[in-house]
Structure 1
Amino acid sequence: MFILLTVAIAPGLALFSFFYLRNQMATEPRRTLFHTFIYGAILTFPILFLQYVFQEEQIFSNPILENVVFTGVVEEFFKWLILMIAIYHHVEFDDPYDGVLYGVAISLGFATVENILYLLSYGVNTAFLRALMPVSSHALFGVVMGYYLGKSKFSKKEQVNEYIVVALCAPIILHNAYNLIFFLQDHWSYLMIPFMLFLWWFGLRKVKQAHNHLIQHLYAQKKI
């Protein structure tokens, strides 16, 4: 059991460390990041319950709506909602790169608990594949969400609502594309590799842009 938990948790911690250490200009309070991670972890259970209820009640007659669209929308919406309620107006959300870290934290909180539950059901043989795809994809969806929330908070007033909407819609689109590829079953592997390469490229591009925005923000405040 200890080995399984270690294997399930390790990818999330490694990915979070990767994005945390890329921020060399400022150090975000670890307690707030930990709380955000816990929010994401707790969020796993109501989301899984909601998905279970909808599946059992057969709300959707179209399997694509149920397995592709509904799953992506629900997961990203609730992560976005918690960030808006608990983090967006927090005093420690004080620079553009913070959005990336909080987005990654809540997403990896969710992905880590989901990974634990999955490995408990199917064993550690699936751990490597899940680290490469579901866990890392959740982290990158969080990067995109957090990047646009950071843009929203530190942009002109007329752009605030626009970026808040993009912070919700962009991860949903990416998540639905990811789910759709898996839905193709026999052909998913041919599309998943280029999609994951694109997702990493896109996510790291947003990380770089967020870092540049941070430098501009600190320069404007005459902190560098």
Structure 2
Amino acid sequence: MQFFSILMAAVAPGVALLAYFYLKDRYDTEPIHLVMKMFLFGVLIVFPTMVLQRALVHATSDDPFSFAFIISGGLEEFLKWFLLYYIIYRHTSFDEPYDGIVYAVAVSLGFATLENVIYAFFNYSSFSLLLLRAFLPVSGHAIFGVLMGYHLGQAKFHKEVETKHLLMSYFVPMFWHGMFDFILIQFPSNWAWLMVPFMIYLWVRSIKKVNRANSTSPLRLITREDEVKI
């Protein structure tokens, strides 16, 4: 019974956040099987990420900046970006800017959910700690997914600035992911004083991206025309 309780506590934050961002799609929700497929891919890339990170840790110096921005943020966000670019970017279901956010959040939360499950079973000490992880790493990955997906959507539907936004779709979440880890590493005793305003800022920024992506959907014009006819 305790096994099931811990598992549910570890999985619930990722599933809840994915549902939240999935339902924020105003005009044309994505095929649920494709969203879950990307979530599963996010789960699967945890294993090669762990292997590569271990190798990089042994190959580099013990430097907080390198670990935060290259080994953690750089590598994790690159693998997510790689999946999205080669599986979703040219997919026919990716037909409005907000779709990039849905799929990027799905990959990110798949990654975060397995990471949370591993932590829960190998480092579990209290339920309150799992709640803290829901606020920090899990929601952090969701935010990084929003930022990545927003720029992927801009790249796909604004060809004149495609290269710029493709680059931003990797480097923007990589930077904020690196900052997230750097704060935790560099300020082990008083990280909360920096992390709380940091997370609030990122959540506000992310919600603005969500609203902006929805507001630029080409499907909103079709929806309005249908409403007028009715």
Give the TM-score of the pair, scaled to structure 2. Answer: 0.91
Describe how 1:150-189 pairs up with structure 2 within 5 A. Answer: 150-155=153-158, 157-183=159-185, 184-189=187-192
- Are residue 140 (structure 1) and residue 140 (structure 2) matched? no
2:208 aligned residue: 205
Q: Say whether the 8 Å CA contact 2:73–2:178 is kept in structure 1.
A: yes
Deviations 1:100-148 (A, max 9, x none): 1001000000000000001111116221000011000100100010011
1:128 aligned residue: 131
Matched positions, count:
221
State the AA in 2 paired with 1:122.
N
1:191 aligned residue: 194
1:16 aligned residue: 18
State the AA in 1 paired with 2:14.
G
2:63 aligned residue: 62
1:113 aligned residue: 114
Q: Say whether the 8 Å CA contact 1:7–1:124 is kept in structure 2.
A: no
Q: Say whether the 8 Å CA contact 1:143–1:207 is kept in structure 2.
A: yes
Residues in 2 aligned to 1:131 and 1:84: alpha-carbon distance in whole angstroms: 27
Q: Say whether the 8 Å CA contact 2:49–2:76 is kept in structure 1.
A: yes
Residues in 2 aligned to 1:42 and 1:162: alpha-carbon distance in whole angstroms: 29
State the AA in 2 paired with 1:34.
M
Cα root mean square deviation, aligned? 1.7
Secondary structure, in 3 states, of the residue corresponding to 2:216?
A: helix
- CA change 1:222–1:160 in 2 (3 A) is farther
In structure 2, the gaps of 5 or more residues are none
State the AA in 2 paired with 1:188.
W
Residues in 2 aligned to 1:199 and 1:166: alpha-carbon distance in whole angstroms: 16
- 1:63 deviation in Å? 3.5
- CA change 1:70–1:186 in 2 (3 A) is same
Residues in 2 aligned to 1:70 and 1:114: alpha-carbon distance in whole angstroms: 16
- 1:59 deviation in Å? 2.1
2:80 aligned residue: 79
Residues in 1 aligned to 2:201 and 2:148: alpha-carbon distance in whole angstroms: 16
- 1:158 deviation in Å? 2.2
- CA change 1:153–1:220 in 2 (3 A) is farther
Q: Percent identity?
A: 38
Q: Say whether the 8 Å CA contact 1:34–1:105 is kept in structure 2.
A: yes
Question: Mean Cα displacement is larger for which, 188-197 or 58-67?
Answer: 58-67
Secondary structure, in 3 states, of the residue corresponding to 2:27?
A: coil
Q: Say whether the 8 Å CA contact 1:4–1:124 is kept in structure 2.
A: no
Residues in 2 aligned to 1:132 and 1:213: alpha-carbon distance in whole angstroms: 29
State the AA in 2 paired with 1:182.
L
Secondary structure, in 3 states, of the residue corresponding to 2:164?
A: helix
Give the TM-score of the pair, scaled to structure 1. Answer: 0.93
